[in-house]
Structure 1
């Protein structure tokens, strides 16, 4: 029944051949499989290989074991190998928060994730190699224990050391580890706000925070985002009129424009926060990719009224859902309580992996390589998009995102639909503008924007626009 190809994994072959024999009826209900030792000797493989294969068949429910008797087929009609099938949910267009998230996380629908916020898989393929996980399990014994509510002290200490290297002297006692940055945002919003509160946000700005605020019943107040940060004149006028409770901002590598807040704007912003008594939520999940250390609000403020959010999902690996919030001392207990009420605790395994990666010095070297790679990708993409006829008003920015401006008459939603039909994920600018702007903008990922399929889709849209203009002329 079993014939092995020495060039392929033996365990996979045993499982697949046994499953095929069961599905075809060659091994019927109640048929006895060879013992582990018999099959190992017959196939000239280790006992461990056969045990692994039988364990996988047991997990599928197609065989059962009887102590002292062996393994027997227990196939039921219609039960076969588990299939990897497409999701039954309807595919949403990426012109809503849910649609874009589905497009980014949904897998195979899009061949080119040009609107994603994650780095290419090939850039991160070594970050969670088996050797990394093995070393973390060996060197960080807390990996197999329940994670403390605030996060393991060893993980918080390593994060604090890394922040100190970025000129952010934050004590580990003021750090709370979360399940990614999105949970950190949610905890801060629920701790500090009540339904109906006014919140200042950047326009354009991070689409998920807009959606989170609306879901919590908050009043969203858009502040135009300029090349050097939020428009402070508009911000001050809104603060006087509405007395906002909080401002959400991204100081470095702004999403979607790629710009940085200047030190002058940062200082004045904090003065306005003090004068009008609002809190500040600073999102720095991409800050590690900035070419220069830069100035963060938390650095100036000293965690007086600033909540600082970071994450490793964007820079290290999206499969490693681990973020953190550095909070003013007076708010920390409330954040911990909300975390416990929503998720009980974090993942000690994730915390152990981060601890070991930071401790080893790998993370510093890794982010240096990413910065160099991103800079090259940006240069190539900017040149290709410009040649294609797309304007880049923030081309002097840096990091992951390019804020692409389309010609008059070509709308972001229309070209997003065209791209989706071609298997390309675009992020339309309308999604990032709480005031309803962005109709002529796309947020593009620097690593994907020069892909031939992306450029071809943009050219087709531009050509179609030109033909319409000729017909109307």
Structure 2
């Protein structure tokens, strides 16, 4: 067999293995016929037959004469990285997250999504920890109630009311993090094979989380004023999605804000459908002027509002929240017990103490000022090497930037990684993979000259 023919056989085998690893093909399931597989992959029937026979020899599949080929063995452990689309390592969301989390302090991380340690509310957390050390023993040893700390839920209700959202504390449930909040909602509302809409681009971990729930994902183009409402309406017609997951306030990665007109049009388009909207408000405290919230216009009818304080207080103190219809919160509390039992009390108490500390407001004022200065400074330095922002955000830590014509973000990220710089290429955020010439920059992590020197070298190459 020629090298080219062998490569084609390997491609068929890899495709089948990926389907088994991702549980698209489960034990006992009949594989596509050799003719159907050949047509799909534009290969000869003999190539597919050879690949299937080799997989059968490995024990991955079995042949049933006159019937076809079937998946053998027990269900494989879920391998998220094996689920389509197959991406270059530099733009795979899981790989990118691991690079940002695992690299040591010497690595520069302009592609990460959090503030430097000395920008966080460390002083407030330390004061809260000292207070916890003197607290009643139950706080340090007992499970939390199903909905979570009543005082923190009351504070969250007041904070939401300031942005026009009417939520009673009984409509709010604490979670271990914002990510766990979305995971619980997905467990509550989704079945494998359902369709979920996301912004294109969107926070890349939405893609990874939705893979784990084995749902179909469709992207809606994002504009400077929010999602493209016409494209959103077409997606509703075409896909009959169960969920739409988006950022309210400051959008990740673009830094855009949702306009009131777009919010109204989006909710009107969703009328008469079964769509439920999950609104992630994790960047609320970075705003200088509150933007539109879908939950405010909707009254928490079809919108579920979530958030956390891992971006402003501490990523180590894990605590998020879910606000929604009372009957849904009641059911989600049962699901939370089933998956994590009572949850922790300590993190919620630390967070409540830190948020109600008199210094938190001044801390965030200082952070917003530093971010404004960093956005201006970073944009100017990027422009000198031909990298331009898609828009100039009103607030927040992100600049969504287009590279010079002909530059490939994955190649730039690969080159910069060799220089100890972790970047965030655009296609990690794009469901349609149409952001290959974009990078997301965290301006709070862009203070080192080495970042811009590495970028200049990569673009020159």
Task: Name the TM-score, length of structure 2 as normaliser.
Answer: 0.77
**In 2, Cα distance between the equivalents of 1:353 and 1:110?**
30
How far apart, CA to CA, are the structure 2 residues paired with 1:181 and 1:194? Answer: 21
450 and 410 in structure 1: CA distance in 2 versus 1, 3 angstrom threshold? farther
The answer to whether 1:393 aligns with 2:390 is yes
Q: Pick the aligned partner of 2:298 from 292, 296, 301.
A: 301
Please tell me whether the aligned partners of residues 203 and 223 of structure 1 are also in contact (alpha carbons under 8 angstroms).
yes
State which of 177, 184, 189 in structure 1 corresponds to 2:186: 189
In structure 1, what is the equivalent of residue 113 of structure 2? 117
- Please, which runs of 5 or more residues in structure 2 have no aligned partner? 1-87
Q: Which residue of 1 aligns with 2:364?
A: 367
**2:124–2:354 CA contact under 8 A, matched in 1:** no
Find the counterpart in structure 2 of residue 321 from structure 1: 318
Note closer, same or farther for the CA distance 1:284–1:129 as it changes in structure 2 (3 Å cut).
Answer: closer
Q: Which residue of 1 aligns with 2:92?
A: 96
Paired residue for 1:422? 419
**1:200: which partner in 2?**
197
Counterpart of 1:134 in structure 2 is: 130
Shift of 1:380: 0.7
Corresponding residue for residue 347 of structure 1: 344
Give 3-state SS (helix, strand or coil) of 1:276's partner.
Answer: coil
Count of aligned pairs between the two proteins:
373
Cα–Cα, structure 1 residues 233 and 125, in superposed 2: closer, same or farther, change >3 Å? closer
Q: Which has the larger radius of gyration?
A: 1
User: 1:313, 1:129 → 2: CA distance?
Assistant: 12
Matched, 1:143 2:161: no
- In 1, Cα distance between equivalents of 2:349 and 2:208: 32
Shift of 1:328: 1.4
1:433-472, aligned counterparts within 5 Å?
433-464=430-461
In the alignment, structure 1 residue 239 sits paired with structure 2 residue 236 = yes
Preserved contact between residue 204 and residue 256 of structure 1 (Cα < 8 Å)? yes
Offset, 1:108: 0.6
How far residue 131 of structure 1 moved from its aligned partner, in angstroms, is: 2.9
CA displacement at 1:125 relative to structure 2: 5.8
Match of 1:164 in 2: 161
Contact 1:253 1:290 in 2 (8 A): yes
Q: Which moved more, 1:323-332 or 1:119-128?
A: 119-128
**Is residue 140–residue 356 contact of structure 1 (8 Å, CA) maintained in 2?**
no
Deviations 1:354-413 (A, max 9, x none): 121233343333222221111111111111111221011112443111111111221111
CA contact 2:121–2:312 (8 Å) conserved in 1: no
Q: Distance in 2 between matches of 1:397 and 1:431?
A: 24
Determine if the alignment matches structure 1 residue 286 to structure 2 residue 283. Answer: yes
RMSD of the TM alignment (CA)? 1.8
Give the Cα–Cα distance (whole angstroms) in 2 for the partners of residues 140 and 93 of structure 1.
Answer: 48
Task: Please say if residues 202 and 248 of structure 1, whose CA atoms lie closer than 8 Å, have aligned partners that are also in contact.
Answer: yes
Q: Is the 8 A contact 2:163 2:293 kept in 1?
A: no
Partner of 1:356: 353
Contact 2:308/2:321 (8 A) holds in 1: yes
- Deviations, residues 14-65 of structure 1 (Å, cap 9, x unaligned): xxxxxxxxxxxxxxxxxxxxxxxxxxxxxxxxxxxxxxxxxxxxxxxxxxxx
Give the TM-score of the pair, scaled to structure 1: 0.75
Q: Is the 8 A contact 1:240 1:276 kept in 2?
A: no
* Deviations 1:413-469, CA, capped at 9 Å, x for gaps: 1111111111111011110001111110111101123531111111112222xxxxx
| SS, match of residue 408 in structure 1 | coil
In 2, distance between residues paired with 1:393 and 1:206? 16
Of the three residues 217, 227, 236, the one matched with 1:230 is: 227
Are positions 1:174 and 2:171 aligned together?
yes
Tell me how far 1:136 sits from its aligned partner. 3.8
SS at 1:308 equivalent:
strand
1:388 counterpart SS class? coil
